[in-house]
Amino acid sequence: MNLAYFDNLLAAYSRGIVSDHVHLGLFGNKVEGQTLSLAQELMSLHHIDLLDLKAGDSIVDVGCGLGGTLRWIDAHFEGVQLTGINIDQRQIDAAKGGPWRSIVDFQLSDAADFSESRISWADRIVSIEAMFHFQNLMGFFSASARAMRPSGRMVASTILFKDDASPQSVATVCAGFSPWPRPNLKLAEICEQAALAGLKVVQVEDLAPRCLPSFEWMGSACPDEVTDDPVIELRRIFEAGKASYPVLVLLPA
Ligand SMILES: C[S@@+](CC[C@H](N)C(=O)[O-])C[C@H]1O[C@@H](n2cnc3c(N)ncnc32)[C@H](O)[C@@H]1O
C-alpha cells in the first residue's frame, strides 16, 4: 500500500532535503541552534532510551518509515539484529539505502501480521508515531506480544485527538495523513487492547507540548479560517491543546 502523503516526502528524501525521521520533533528548554531535524533525532533517542537496549538485542521497528531510528541503533549498538516493518514498499526500498553495519530484515507487512509464524524472537519493539494509521490495533498488540521474549520491552507512540478538537480540522488531518481510521481513538482503549493482547502498560507520558515547535519548521502559521492543509490543521489542533502525543512503555503481562 502506497501512503499518498509519502509521495512528496520520498522525493524530498531522495534529494537530501528531509532526514530519515518522519515524525514530530522533541523540543526542550531553549537550545541554541535547535532545528527540526535535531529535534526529530531527539524524539527518536527518547524512544530508544525508554527501550533500554543492549548489544546483541533483536529489535523490531513497526512502521519504520525511512529507517532513521533503526539506523541510529545500528550505528550505536554492536551485534544487534534489526527488523523493519512497513506497509509501503517504496519506504522499505528507501530505508535499505546504507550505511548499515548490521543486516536489517525489512519486511513488507501490516503491523498486525509481522509475527504470524514466529513466537518469542524479539527483545525490543519500537513504533514511533505510527499507531494512528493501524486499522487493526488489537492485531498489532497481539503480534507484538507473540514476538516478544518474556524479558521483552516495547515503546510505542501515537497522536490522539481530544473530544473537543475541531471536527473540520480533524477530518482534514485524517484525510491528508491517510489512513487514519480511528480519529476518536482514546488512550484508555489503547491500554485496554494492549491488556487483552497480553501486554501491560507500565508508563505513559504525553509529549504534545514538547512537539509543538516542530510546526514552525513545517509550514505557515494558522489563519483564522480552517484550511484544507493537513499540516496547518494539525498545528491548529496542537496549538489549541486538543491533541496528545502519548508514548507508552509496555511489558509482557
Ligand atoms: C508518521 S510515519 C513514522 C515513521 C517512522 N516510525 C519514523 O519515526 O520515522 C508512520 C509510518 O507507519 C507506516 N505504516 C502505516 N500503516 C502501517 C501498517 N498498517 N503497518 C505497518 N506500517 C504502517 C507508514 O508507512 C509510515 O512509515
Q: Are strands 58-62 and 81-86 parallel, antiparallel or unpaired?
A: parallel
Q: What are the tens digits of pLDDT across the range 25-39?
A: 999 866 667 889 999
pLDDT at site 30: 64
Q: How far is the CA of 65 from the centre of ligand 1 (A)?
A: 5
Specify if 1 maps to a domain: no
Could you tell me the sign of the dihedral formed by the alpha carbons of 67, 71, 77, 83, in that order? positive
Q: What are the tens digits of pLDDT across the range 87-100?
A: 999 999 999 997 89
pLDDT at site 28: 85
* Closest ligand 1 atom, residue 88 Cα: 25
Q: How far is the CA of 2 from the centre of ligand 1 (A)?
A: 11
Give the dihedral of Cα atoms 153, 191, 186, 83; nearest 10 deg: 30
Q: How far is the CA of 225 from the centre of ligand 1 (A)?
A: 30
Residue 253: pLDDT band by 50, 70, 90 thresholds? very high
pLDDT at site 24: 97
Global model pTM greater than 0.85: yes
Q: How far is the CA of 88 from the centre of ligand 1 (A)?
A: 8
Give the mean pLDDT of 74-96: 97
- The CATH number linked to 15 is 3.40.50.150
Number of domains within the chain: 1
Specify if 19 maps to a domain: yes
Give the mean pLDDT of 161-178: 98
CA distance 137 to 41: 26
Amino acid at 105: D
Residue with the smallest CA separation from ligand 1 atom 4 is 65
Residue with the smallest CA separation from ligand 1 atom 22 is 63
Pull the grid cell for residue 211.
512537539
CA distance 206 to 193: 19
Give the domain range for residue 218.
6-252
Q: What are the tens digits of pLDDT across the range 136-159?
A: 999 999 999 999 999 999 999 999
* Closest ligand 1 atom, residue 61 Cα: 6
Name all residues whose Cβ lies below 6 A of ligand 1.
Answer: 3, 21-23, 63-65, 68-69, 85-88, 91, 110-111, 128-130, 133-134
175: three-class secondary structure by DSSP? helix
Q: Do 63 and 125 form a contact (C-beta atoms < 8 A)?
A: no
pLDDT at site 31: 64
Give the mean pLDDT of 188-217: 96
Specify if 55 maps to a domain: yes
DSSP per-residue codes, 45-67 = HHHHHHHT--TT-EEEEET-TTS
